[in-house]
């Protein structure tokens, strides 16, 4: 079956690419407030493509951009496919080597905003459905598509949508977006995402900025935050937030075994970052375990006083720091928020305000779940024996709405993107060979899921 579709895809490359390019030309930027008509047009285009592929598709409203929902096939088992049709802003435009919304092929790579995140993935699944049904007839299971338009701004309306449509979205397994190939070209299969508590710590001093001649007697909110932050992470770089580790679920033996099998090129990663060592001088394997199994306490931004050219001698009147705490299974954003507040109160920092900005739950599917095995077997079916299973990935997302809240085993697989795709950056790209392989992969996945 995979070989037959491989030949069919080989003979349809021009048509597949033209269809993808049409999708990529639509500037569906969810971070902008003035794109209502363009967004609806993009959602309607996706709906129509699903109908062309043989699915029953419709637009479903939210308080923001609409969701595209579709169903195809019939059978006892159900697979839910999640993706998104919105994209990141393209700025800074001057760093693009070609128009971000006019796809261009250079040296076998397709450059355009959204090609790797997530329009390429969405289109590959739709094309795989069409090719599969043309070759083999209707799917012998029910395939549901959930394609939202607000992932790039944190999916603010997806939770309400998922809870309202719990029965509609029910499934035996979910195929999520977001997988990629590593720097050696191996497909990466992710079984979960970390949760996140995003907060802002705020401190205030005088009612206005003061002359720095008062620096010895005036309260300085920047120093106040520095002192508070040092209680959360010590001089060795260890997270010391009271009670954080106690909330975490211990990794399973199978998780630990899977991590030991992950090829990890620490030197290549450090070279790509332009650094000589990891934080705390972590070894290669310790760094991998830290990234996948441990929570973080990250300072994303620190703002206070004057930061312009030259000098300005002041004691700032206010300071704030943005922090994201990436959380592992068992560590929920609500309880972690209370830990932060309690931790600071116990150390005399009652004056430091903790503002909740955003939170998502961790999501976790066992590495030996049937849908994970299907994901790996589908790679073998298209001739790729090197798929690597990751118990989780260091990032966060709305995966928990499906995997945790609705209890649907979820896997991230497909790999249109690669480690060098520059997702969210200028010159976002995907290799055409990877794209065509992804179409073939999703068709193979459908075949394995049916079995």
Domain that holds residue 250: 194-360
295 and 156, same structural domain?
A: no
CATH number at residue 321: 3.30.70.360
436 and 305, same structural domain?
A: no
Residue 309: the pLDDT is: 95
CA 418 to chain centre: 14
CATH number at residue 160: 3.40.630.10
85 and 60, same structural domain?
A: yes
- Would you say residue 34 has pLDDT above 80? no
292 and 201, same structural domain?
A: yes
359-404 pLDDT tens trace: 989 999 999 999 999 999 999 999 999 999 999 998 888 899 999 9
Residue 328: the pLDDT is: 95
User: What percent of the chain shows pLDDT beyond 70?
Assistant: 99
338 and 437, same structural domain?
A: no
360, 380, 414: which is the final residue of a domain?
Answer: 360
pLDDT band at 1 (very low <50, low <70, confident <90, very high): very low
- Would you say residue 2 has pLDDT above 60? no
Cβ density class 410-447: b for 16+ within 10 Å, e for less? bbbbbbbbbbebebeebbbbbbbebbbbbbbbbbbbbb
250-267 pLDDT tens trace: 999 999 999 999 999 999
140 and 10, same structural domain?
A: yes
342, 360, 378: which is the final residue of a domain?
Answer: 360
407 and 424, same structural domain?
A: yes
286 and 137, same structural domain?
A: no
108-156 pLDDT tens trace: 999 999 999 999 999 999 999 999 999 999 999 999 999 999 999 989 9
Answer yes or no: are the C-beta atoms of 181 and 415 closer than 8 Å.
yes
Residue 154: the pLDDT is: 86
384 and 346, same structural domain?
A: no
Q: What is the signed CA dihedral for 118, 374, 387, 419, rounded to 10 degrees?
A: 10
Residue 267: the pLDDT is: 92
2-10 helix and 432-450 helix, angle to the nearest 10 degrees: 150
- Joined together, the tokens standing for residue 53 give 């592929």
214 and 230, same structural domain?
A: yes
360, 394, 416: which is the final residue of a domain?
Answer: 360
Answer yes or no: are the C-beta atoms of 145 and 70 closer than 8 Å.
yes
265 and 184, same structural domain?
A: no
Q: How many domains does the chain have?
A: 2
Residue 249: the pLDDT is: 94
Mean pLDDT along residues 157-170: 96
- Would you say residue 186 has pLDDT above 50? yes
248 and 184, same structural domain?
A: no
């Amino acid at each position: 079956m995979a070989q037959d579709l491989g030949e069919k895809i080989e003979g349809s490359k021009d048509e597949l690419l033209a269809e993808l390019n049409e999708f990529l030309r639509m500037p569906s930027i969810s971070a902008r407030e003035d794109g209502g008509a363009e967004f609806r047009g993009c959602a309607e285009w996706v709906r129509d493509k699903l109908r062309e592929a043989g699915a029953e598709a419709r637009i479903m409203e939210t308080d923001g951009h609409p969701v595209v929902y579709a169903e195809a096939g019939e059978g006892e088992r159900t697979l839910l496919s999640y993706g998104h049709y919105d994209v990141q802003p393209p700025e800074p435009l001057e760093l693009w080597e070609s128009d971000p919304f006019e796809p261009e092929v250079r040296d076998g790579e397709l450059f355009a905003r959204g090609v790797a995140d997530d329009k390429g993935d969405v289109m590959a699944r739709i094309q795989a459905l069409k090719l599969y049904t043309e070759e083999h007839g209707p799917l012998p299971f029910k395939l549901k598509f959930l394609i939202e338009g607000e992932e790039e701004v944190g999916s603010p309306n997806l939770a309400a949508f998922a809870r309202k449509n719990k029965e509609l979205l029910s499934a035996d397994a979910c195929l999520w977006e977001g997988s990629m190939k590593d720097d050696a070209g191996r497909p990466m299969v992710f079984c979960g995402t970390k949760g996140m508590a995003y907060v802002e710590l705020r401190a205030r001093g005088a009612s206005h900025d003061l002359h720095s001649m008062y620096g010895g007697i005036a309260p300085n909110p920047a120093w106040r935050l520095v002192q508070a932050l040092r209680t959360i992470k010590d001089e060795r770089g260890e997270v010391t937030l009271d009670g954080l580790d106690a909330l975490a679920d211990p990794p399973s033996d199978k998780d630990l075994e899977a991590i030991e099998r992950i090829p990890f090129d620490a030197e290549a990663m450090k070279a790509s970052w332009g650094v000589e060592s990891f934080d705390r001088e972590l070894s290669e394997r310790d760094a991998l375990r830290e990234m996948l199994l441990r929570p973080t306490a990250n300072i994303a931004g620190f703002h206070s006083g004057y930061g312009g050219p030259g000098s300005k001698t002041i004691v700032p009147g206010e300071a704030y720091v943005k922090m994201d705490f990436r959380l592992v299974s068992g560590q929920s954003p609500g309880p972690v928020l209370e830990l932060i507040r309690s931790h600071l109160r116990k150390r005399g920092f009652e004056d430091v305000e903790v503002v909740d900005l955003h939170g998502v739950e961790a999501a976790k599917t066992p590495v030996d779940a049937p849908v994970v095995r299907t994901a790996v077997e589908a790679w073998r079916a298209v001739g790729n024996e090197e798929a690597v299973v990751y118990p989780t990935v260091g990032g966060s997302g709305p995966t928990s709405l499906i995997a945790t809240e609705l209890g649907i085993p979820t896997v991230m697989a497909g790999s249109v993107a690669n480690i060098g795709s520059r997702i969210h950056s200028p010159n976002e790209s995907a290799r055409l060979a990877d794209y065509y392989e992804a179409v073939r992969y999703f068709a193979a996945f459908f075949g394995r899921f049916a079995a």
